[in-house]
Structure 1
Amino acid sequence: MSLVLHTIICSTRPGRVGLPVAQWFHGVASKHEAFDARLVDLAEFNLPIYDEPKHPTLQQYEHEHTKRWSASVAAADAFVFVTPEYNFGPPPSLVNALNYVYREWNYKPAAFVSYGGVSGGIRAVQMEKHTLTTLKMMPILEAVMIPMVAQHMENGRFMAKEIHETSATALLNELARWAAALKPMRSGV
């Protein structure tokens, strides 16, 4: 039984570092035997500021962009959010995307690959975890944190160090355990 893992590129900013970081992590995830790994780019969904007239718990979406986003989120068994830190918090694009749907997130585990300056994006992750638990998601402890991310970039590519590789493997192993454990809870949703 292969679990569907969505690695979500959370920044939509032109020139973002999140794209090469996510491409690296997706490469690692694609080799993990527990997952059918898929790379999801929030920029490709081009979600406007939340514009559905009805509450997301009703799942009565009127806009095509919401229906496409809903189908994408619903298709996954687990998530890895590749997230920067903006002003000690999450990127607005991620907050908006999380708020667009509700039931599609329920009873799914999530992990983080965060990047930034000296904090490595960890302050954003702490805030994002609060939102995830309200969506009935399970954020796991294991993570990949990349402080001073610019020092790991070479010709537009993220050059992972051993600590990043080791952290990614630990993250994926634990995420697979949670995804398998939570799957029965989603059968009635």
Structure 2
Amino acid sequence: MSKPKIAVIVGSTRATRFADKPAEWIANLAKARGDFDVEIVDLRDYPMPFFEEAASSLWAPSKNEVALRWQKKVAEFDGFIVTVAEYNRGPTAVLKNAIDYAYTEWNRKPVTFVGYGGVGGARAIEQLRQHAVELQMAPSRFAVHIVWGDFIQILQQGKKIEDFEHLNQAAATALDDLAWWAKVLKQAREDDLQVKQAAE
């Protein structure tokens, strides 16, 4: 079995976003492990309108060309790490919109999160875990939470995320868990495919 392919999804598209810093940091940590293939996927590259399809892609093919390209990209991966900005106690609209534009492409794949904001994006991440369950994903118990005090030091005082040992430790735990689930679920999906092909 090949190494699981993991997407680091940049969950904000604002011109002044902070998201690039945690995305690059967690991608570098994931690559350094050697047990993942890692790609940063930027929602800026998939400018989808607010969801306007006749139905979820579970029930009817999407018509929007960018949405179709997005679904194809999501399907490439065996697991996901999502950067999460918390807006008004929830995830960004652009991230939720991107989640809604796919369905089967998310199924039976693990996801973890790197949140930031007042409480480290915890409230937004909890909502995203619920969305992940509905999409038949395996949301990890473990995540990285860059709380406000750390966030300000990184944003305004020249600190780097890797300067904070508690964040490095949280990332290591989250990546260990993601690796386990990614390998197990990748094998299970491959086994299911073999059974399906044999029955045809």
Contact 2:103 2:135 in 1 (8 A): yes
Is structure 2 residue 141 aligned with structure 1 residue 138?
no
**How many residue pairs align between the two structures?**
188
Paired residue secondary structure (2:143): strand
**How do residues 93-172 of structure 1 correspond to structure 2 at under 5 angstroms?**
93-117=94-118, 119-148=119-148, 149-153=151-155, 158-160=160-162, 161-172=164-175
Give, in angstroms, the shift of residue 150 of structure 1: 2.2
**How do residues 33-112 of structure 1 correspond to structure 2 at under 5 angstroms?**
33-58=34-59, 60-112=61-113
- TM-score relative to the length of structure 2: 0.88
Give, in angstroms, the shift of residue 54 of structure 1: 4.0
Give the counterpart letter for 1:80 in structure 2: I
> RMSD of the TM alignment (CA)?
1.8
- More divergent stretch after superposition (166-175 vs 130-139): 166-175
* Gaps in structure 2 of 5+ consecutive residues: 194-200
Contact 2:108 2:137 in 1 (8 A): yes
Contact 1:116 1:147 in 2 (8 A): yes
Aligned-partner Cα distance in 2 for 1:116–1:179: 28
Contact 2:56 2:100 in 1 (8 A): no
1:182 to 164, 185, 191: 185
Greater strand proportion = 1
Query: Closer, same or farther in 2 for the Cα pair 1:153/1:159, shift >3 Å?
Result: farther
Query: Closer, same or farther in 2 for the Cα pair 1:150/1:136, shift >3 Å?
Result: same
Give, in angstroms, the shift of residue 143 of structure 1: 1.1
Query: Closer, same or farther in 2 for the Cα pair 1:184/1:59, shift >3 Å?
Result: farther
Give the counterpart letter for 2:154 in structure 1: H
Deviation string for 1:91-149 (max 9, x for gaps)? 111110110010000000000100012x1110100111111100000101111110011
Identity, % of aligned pairs?
Answer: 34
- More divergent stretch after superposition (64-73 vs 157-166): 157-166
Which has the higher Rg, Structure 1 or Structure 2?
A: 2
Aligned-partner Cα distance in 1 for 2:114–2:62: 30
Q: Could you say which residue in structure 1 is the equivalent of 2:11?
A: 10
Paired residue secondary structure (1:123): helix
Q: Could you say which residue in structure 1 is the equivalent of 2:196?
A: none
Contact 1:106 1:186 in 2 (8 A): no
